[in-house]
Amino acid sequence: MRPNRPRRSETTPCTPTSIGASPLGRYRDLVDDWDAFVAALCCPLPTCIWANPTRISVNGLSELLTAQGLDPQPVSDLPNALRLAPTLKAGRHWWYCVGLAHAQEEVSQLPVALMDLTPGQKVLDMCAAPGGKTAQIAFALGNRGTLIANDISFARIKALQGNLDRLGVLNVTTTCFDAANWPTTGGQFDRILVDAPCSGEGTLRRNPSLLQRLHRSPSTPLGPRQRALLRKAVQRCRPGGRILYSTCTFAPEENELVVADILAEFPGVIRSLPLSLPSLATTPGITEWEGRKLAPELAHCLRFWPHHNDTGGFFIAVLEKDSSPDVEPEPQPELASMGDADAAEWLEGLGAKYGLRAGYWDGYRVNRQTRRGLHLMAADHAPPALPRAEGSGLFFHRTNVRPPKPTTGGAMLFGRDASRFRIELNEAQRDAYLRRENFDPTPAQRAATPPGQVIVTHLGHVLGVALLHRSGLIESLFPTRWSGCTAAPEDAHQEHG
Ligand SMILES: C[S@@+](CC[C@H](N)C(=O)[O-])C[C@H]1O[C@@H](n2cnc3c(N)ncnc32)[C@H](O)[C@@H]1O
């Protein structure tokens, strides 16, 4: 395959000389074309987004972006993704703020594509925040069943929850725990993702200032933590299940050496599966580093180099656990108890107001997790009782205000099926709404619906909830923290993860 050579940026502080003199210089013999490698690292990264499959097809998103004057391009091996110019700030666009798409680096989208996910599997995402891969897994499971998204950082779990709510994810329970100590009582999983904390060398194109940090602390002591996480994943994976280990670094000490040590710790219990992708250029995992020879099966791992596909750098290994019949099956874990006695009444009320069809809420369950209101999740979502959940499902209806109000995430979920209290906005109104400004309805909009809370849409896509005042004014209730169009720093939106 012919590599896609990126264009050199004048603005990045990375230069071939500074890269050669940095700790990355030790990879000279690993890389097939050193000059192309450093040239790629000196260029900004293309923006990559994926279409939210519960809201829009990738073709539909592509048409929408093209109509906006953008130039979305398909992405090899990622049928749901689109590539855009590096300068594009996805998070500032309305279609991003309302959850039609998520920005995630191209190579970061590949682990989930290689997890062999099917609906019905129980999945643990050990190091999940800010949640790009969690959301991908959730949708690969059909937004049903049970996915546990864990992270050791509470602040990052909050950011993850925001992403999941914006995208309408209904099958995730979040936990905040050291995954290396994941409790046995949490049960076993069909699939486990260990997207490990790492030195992040492969993210240099997105974050050129990283080069200075690499100079200051060239050898990161992350290996023990990475081994502990992968070891625990092996223990918590069910026989016959799979573990995907990934990092965004080139460092063999955080990649093949970690996988080699864990394979050696569990002889006959796990094996590394051969991996391939139909179109992207990759190189096999290395089997020798600084004089240490590794097992030949390490060549099954995949390395992604920036100059091969015009991406960031990445490493992926997939381990499969032996399913021999003499392994004693573990008992099912105790499940978290959930429920709300008044749930049916609340759902009926919403259905009646917005004209939802009978039986609309079949397939969902409701849980009152806070005094503020109700969370909605897939009916078959069944998280373990331990470790304690930070949250389950989508916060969708505020019941502690008068009158009760669907949240923006809730409105985005059912609003497209609403046949009453719904207004289509034009472009100027849409932008005012997302900036949380008040604006005037047209006479036709005013005549279409009585005053009160209304679902607002643009091109048929739900933006959220607004308040149509008797005076005629429309007040935006779009959450400020979601208003990337005006608030959030762009970096928050093009995630490694
Ligand atoms: C590479 S990032 C994960 C990116 C994420 N998978 C995504 O796709 O958005 C690594 C994460 O591991 C978390 N982490 C570090 N040590 C951990 C531990 N012992 N247990 C759980 N999470 C940990 C960090 O807080 C960080 O959010």
**Mean pLDDT confidence for 69-79:** 97
Predicted pLDDT of residue 220 = 58
| Residue 451 pLDDT exceeds 90 | yes
Q: How many angstroms separate the alpha carbon of residue 162 from the centre of ligand 1? A: 16
**Mean pLDDT confidence for 294-307:** 98
Predicted pLDDT of residue 218 = 55
Cβ of 151 closer than 6 Å to ligand 1, yes or no, is yes
Q: What residues does 51 pair with on adjacent strands? A: 101
Over the stretch 159-174, which tens digit does the pLDDT of each residue have?
999 999 999 999 999 9
42 is a catalytic site residue:
no
Residue nearest to atom 4 of ligand 1 (CA): 497
> What does pLDDT average to over the chain?
92
**Mean pLDDT confidence for 399-420:** 96
Please give the structure tokens belonging to residue 157.
């779990």
Q: How many angstroms separate the alpha carbon of residue 372 from the centre of ligand 1? A: 29
Place of tokens 């949380």: 436
Domains of the chain (ranges, CATH numbers): 421-485 (3.10.450.720)
| Residue 342 pLDDT exceeds 90 | no
pLDDT more than 70, % of the chain: 93
Place of tokens 């062999």: 116
**62 or 328, greater pLDDT:** 62
C-alpha to C-alpha distance for 150 and 465, rounded to whole angstroms:
30
Least confident of 51-65, 74-88, 205-219, 404-418: 205-219
Predicted pLDDT of residue 219 = 55
**Mean pLDDT confidence for 230-239:** 97
**Mean pLDDT confidence for 31-51:** 96
Predicted pLDDT of residue 487 = 37
Q: What residues does 454 pair with on adjacent strands? A: 466
Please give the structure tokens belonging to residue 104.
């995630």
Residue nearest to atom 6 of ligand 1 (CA): 128
Please give the structure tokens belonging to residue 445.
């909009």
**Mean pLDDT confidence for 70-94:** 96
CB 131 within 8 A of CB 167: no
DSSP SS3 for 273 = coil
pLDDT class for 326, splitting at 50, 70, 90?
Answer: low
**Mean pLDDT confidence for 360-364:** 95
